[in-house]
Structure 1
Amino acid sequence: MSNLGFALEGAWKVLLAGLLFGAGLPLIFALGVRAMAYGAGGAAETGEQRPHPIGRLIGIACFLVVLGAVALGIAMIVASGFGKEVVFHGVLPVVQDKGH
């Protein structure tokens, strides 16, 4: 493979990570805020409206995804400071020595 191929291969990975973490997490957070507004009744009227429990459930799920991504990022930074790395064996992340 040529150098251009290696550069393009790395470029799409950077683009994907940038879209996921640069725009994806704020988008999920915004969807969570919107869902919580729907869960609170969805209108700014003084009338009596029943809240939508599904809106609250979706909002909490969105906030948990964002909180998990932030916690994973902090764990990766701290682990690298101690000479370790975060790897995924299955679904859950595991902290192990580098090069294992």
Structure 2
Amino acid sequence: MNGLIEWSALGQVVVAGLLIGAGIPALFALGLRLVAGTSETPEAPERSSGTPRETKGPVVIARPSPARLVGALLCFGTVVGAVGAGLVFLAAGGHS
């Protein structure tokens, strides 16, 4: 122990916090992005002042490709696995 702070333990906590606290939500967001379909954005219709916006037909959402679906399932599976592992870790007493 160096002084009052154990620097190696602090570094481990920071790395674990970044991986769990930012990595798991980022992986979930990536899975949502993969499921969302194509990255093309439709052009916004021009708005005239004072009149409601008119649509010309139904909104069509493209189905993502099979590769994107597999990637999304891998992302979601990893997130569910991490949450399950965390619950098992906590239920076991919170220590290894």
What is the TM-score of this pair, normalised by structure 2? 0.68
Runs of 4+ displaced beyond 6 Å: none
The answer to which of 43-52 and 11-20 deviates more is: 43-52
List per-residue Cα deviations over 1:11-41 (Å, max 9, x = no partner): 1101101101100000000000001113xx5
Identity of matched residues, %: 35
Q: Following TM superposition, by how much is the alpha carbon of 1:57 offset from its aligned partner in structure 2, in angstroms?
A: 0.6
- State the Cα RMSD in Å: 2.8
Larger Rg: 2
* Matching of residue 34 in structure 1 with residue 33 in structure 2: yes
TM-score (norm 1): 0.65
Count of residue pairs the alignment pairs up: 80
CA shift, 1:51, in A, is 3.3
Note the residue ranges of structure 1 that are not aligned, 5 or more in a row. Answer: 87-100
Higher strand share: 1
Determine which structure has the larger helix proportion and give its number: 1
